[in-house]
């Protein structure tokens, strides 16, 4: 092949190096076209299957496969050439780096997706945080880098020793960042909060946990604003998690009526309205059944009752309270039950 091309050009227009460069480019273009066609067919095939495993495997190897194209083109070019041994050695080292790097990237992508899939299966509704994905990728990429350096003849023992000595200085310089990093790892391991949980911390911030990063945790408030809390502050704070042990929670609605009211009638009316609403109001659960309690003690001007019912989650209580209060108000008017309001009796001494 080389003699054919050299015969076409006189006066040395195309040297052997230029010929091999053209050969490498042509092979690379052909392989990229073949890669495009192959992935198009694979994506069309996976769209017909029910399992999602083949989908994320193809997504994970889509970009690393570009390195495989270059590695294959280099191998074919070297195999069909008569380059000097030192150039062949350079090519083989490049080939080794490309293969190791591509396999490392593919392994990091597949591992992070497998962890995400396993967490979603074991804990429905849970999500993998940015920190967990970052830790998985960094560990796999670090292993791949060490394998690459070792394969190229670079001794990694002095590097590990230098990293151990320099790690102390880095730890002192980045004490705050490392504190947040380890606090984030603690949050991931102990899982006092999870992505998607509605929480309230001691300083007053509350909302849905949208992500736990390597330095901060993002909390999305009901107003759709994001509160960014350092991981170490969150780990040290007292946290109320409204999704533990599950998302359902008890809703307490205080009701005060006048002393002229019949307590039995008040209890019956409250129970009737709560039981009717359980099948009609979104977010109000029929089980456990509603309950009415006559609170201990008598108010200055009212008989105090508390209606206890179960709602699906923290955010449902606003709509449930809205609807229940309207129904109770209308029913009290129909039954002639008066709401209590502050009164004072004044005696004037003659």
Q: How many CB atoms lie within 10 A of CB 322?
A: 10
Mean pLDDT of the chain: 77
Structure tokens at 198: 């509605």
* pLDDT tens column, 154-200: 666 666 666 665 665 555 555 677 777 778 777 877 788 888 889 99
The whole-model pTM stands at: 0.57
DSSP 13-41: SS-HHHHHHHHHHHHHHHHHHHHHHHHHH
- The reply to whether CATH 3.30.70.100 applies to domain 249-335 is yes
Structure tokens at 205: 């911030």
| Residue-level pLDDT at 5 | 42
**Sheet-wide strand order for 226-230:** 226-230, 216-220, 206-212, 198-201, 239-241
CATH number of 178-241: 2.30.30.60
Let me know if the fold of 178-241 is the same as that of 249-335.
no
Distances (CA, A) of 18 to 21, 24, 45, 335: 5, 10, 41, 98
| Residue-level pLDDT at 300 | 79
- CA of residue 9 relative to chain centroid, distance: 60
| Residue-level pLDDT at 164 | 62
Q: Residue for token digits 């230098």?
A: 162
**Hey, where are the domains in the chain?**
2-154, 178-241, 249-335
Backbone angles phi, psi at 172, to 5 degrees: -70, -40
| Residue-level pLDDT at 225 | 92
Structure tokens at 45: 């095939």
| Residue-level pLDDT at 180 | 75
> Quick one: how many helices (H) and strands (E) in the chain?
11, 9
146 vs 150: CA distance, rounded Å? 6
The parts of the chain modelled with pLDDT lower than 50 are 1-2, 4-14, 124-126
Backbone angles phi, psi at 222, to 5 degrees: -65, -25
For residue 31, which of 98, 93, 86, 97 has the smallest C-alpha distance?
A: 98
Give buried/exposed letters for 276-291 (b at 16+ CB in 10 A, else e): ebbeebebbbeeeebe
């Amino acid at each position: 092949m080389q003699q054919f091309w050299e015969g076409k050009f006189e006066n040395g227009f195309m040297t052997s190096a230029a010929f091999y460069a053209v050969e490498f480019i042509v092979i690379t273009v052909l392989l990229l076209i073949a890669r495009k066609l192959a992935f198009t067919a694979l994506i069309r095939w996976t769209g017909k299957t029910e399992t999602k495993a083949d989908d994320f495997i193809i997504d994970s190897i889509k970009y690393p496969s570009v390195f495989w194209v270059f590695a294959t083109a280099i191998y074919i070019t070297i195999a069909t050439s008569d380059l000097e041994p030192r150039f062949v050695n350079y090519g083989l080292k490049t080939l080794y780096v490309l293969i190791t790097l591509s396999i490392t990237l593919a392994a990091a992508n597949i591992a992070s997706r497998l962890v995400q899939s396993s967490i979603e299966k074991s804990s429905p509704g849970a999500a993998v945080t940015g920190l967990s994905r970052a830790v998985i990728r960094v560990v796999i990429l670090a292993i791949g880098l060490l394998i690459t350096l070792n394969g190229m003849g670079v001794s990694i023992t002095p590097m590990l020793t230098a990293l151990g000595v320099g790690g102390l200085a880095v730890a002192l310089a980045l004490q705050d960042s490392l504190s947040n990093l380890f606090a984030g790892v603690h949050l991931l391991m102990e899982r006092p909060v999870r992505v998607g949980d509605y929480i309230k911390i001691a300083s007053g911030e509350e909302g849905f946990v949208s992500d736990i990063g390597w330095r901060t945790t993002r909390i999305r408030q009901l107003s759709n604003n994001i509160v960014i809390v350092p991981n170490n502050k969150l780990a040290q704070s007292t946290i109320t998690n409204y999704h533990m042990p599950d998302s359902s929670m008890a809703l307490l609605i205080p009701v005060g009526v006048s002393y002229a009211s019949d307590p039995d009638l008040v209890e019956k009316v409250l129970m009737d309205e709560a039981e009717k609403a359980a099948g009609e109001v979104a977010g109000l659960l029929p089980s456990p059944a509603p309950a009415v309690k006559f609170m201990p003690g008598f108010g200055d001007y009212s008989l105090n009752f508390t209606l206890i019912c179960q709602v699906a989650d923290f955010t449902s209580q606003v709509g449930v309270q809205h609807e229940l209060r309207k129904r109770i108000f209308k029913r009290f008017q129909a039954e002639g039950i008066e709401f209590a309001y502050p009164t004072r009796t004044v005696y004037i001494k003659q």
